[in-house]
Amino acid sequence: MEQSTATRPHRGDELTVKIDTLAHGGAGVARHNGYVLFVAGGIPGDTVRVAVGKAKRAYAEARTLEVLQPSPDRIAPLADHPGAPWQVIPYARQLEIKQQQVDDSLRRIGRLDGFTLEPIVAAVEQWRYRNKLEYSFGRDTDGRLICGFHAPGRWEEIVEVRDCMLASEAGNRAREEVVEWCRAQGLEPYDRRSGQGFLRNLVVREGRRTGELQVRLVTSPGRLDGESLAGALSGAPGLLWTRLESLGETTMGGQTELLAGAERLEEELGGLRVSISGEAFFQTNTEMAEQLYALAIEYAQLRGFERVYDLFCGIGTIGLLMAPRAAELWGLEIVEDAIADAIRNARRNEIDNARFFAGDVRLVLRELVERAGRPDVLVVDPPRAGLSQKVVRRVIEAAPKRIVYVSCNPTTLAPNAAQLVEAGYELTKVRPVDMFPQTPHVECVAQLERRAAS
């Protein structure tokens, strides 16, 4: 029966509700006269006063205004940080929830069973674990230039961060030095409403093993005293300047210029020495990336004679770690700079059985199969949206004996795995990995085996 419009709340309504559970993505789930509310800032057991935002026929989004009665699980937050919404949940409980949400995604969304769900791998560090942070510039209520993160649910408002507890102390220091220099220069932040202004974003990357820093300032077109900025930074980090003309909030694209130091960041991972260009993807938790990739290698079950495909390979890290255990490795990635990094990384680590190519997986996977032969093992590490229908079809056509799926979103892994199971594969085992403590995000590795023809 359709929910009566009389009991449905409207945008701007303030309600008192109790949070029952957590949805995928981290919002609390509550009900008001049977109507579902997804509540930002609420955890199971909380009684909260909320403001209703976007309302639809079946549910509405809401944000917590006040915690009237806290959950027995709720703990005091350590940091004033919009990027750490789960810090009010004890870490052991965070792990339990993530484990359950992976299981729920596979069973409810993918309608899968018969697989082994292995225990979640806990994070090495619960704070200061990120090797990359993207900050945004804005103004506070006094008109002062600030740098921080978007306020939850408010794209135009920036919350200043002084000590980002997800970044290292060196990374925090680099951010503060850039901001102080920008204030001294009188530079204006970009206004997201009008599309006017200069300073847009600041990207700080760190080599956790090497201690190197890379700072990239993202601005609108204009003038910048790069020599002066480089002189304001301690520790001589690599300094890049990206100029963007687009109106959207992005740090990708545009024109990037090296102002000081090295163009690429050096890092070590799993015994590899890798070089990372400014826009190339690299897992943002180095310590846990090593565990994630070790798990992918374990699930690949390589014995030395296999042909391995690494799709969405980035700078080649997973493939290069697998290559010494295989006969040959072929990597595909659409970002040309990342492929250049992968080729360079193979050379510098003296890995000569790995080949990397730039191209769209949807369009070139068939060509790769014709050129290299069918893969024995196929590794795929797609973006959060998962694999498109066309890519799934191309993977099925390639007919690998084993698929290792590295997922950053169990809700997109589930339908992809279901499609592969329908095509003749068996989902054998899955293991979650906590790459991002204090957040609802969870990664996992899945193993799928091609069933023998009957």
Chain center to CA of 49? 31
Q: Are 326 and 372 in contact (CB under 8 A)?
A: no
CA gap 127, 134 in Å, rounded:
17
Name the one residue in this structure whose structure tokens are 């993977």.
395
Catalytic center residues: 408
Name the one residue in this structure whose structure tokens are 């080649």.
316
> Residues with Cβ < 8 Å from 186, sequence gap 6 or more?
none
CA gap 367, 377 in Å, rounded:
17
CA gap 291, 268 in Å, rounded:
14
Name the one residue in this structure whose structure tokens are 């068996």.
426
Task: Find residue 214's DSSP bridge partners.
Answer: 205, 238
Supply the DSSP string of 302-345, one letter for each residue: --S--EEEEET-TTSHHHHHHGGGSSEEEEEES-HHHHHHHHHH
Supply the DSSP string of 119-154, one letter for each residue: PPBPPS-SSS--SEEEEEEEE-TT--EEEEEEETTE
What SS3 class is residue 225? coil
Neighbours of 424 (CB within 10 A): 14
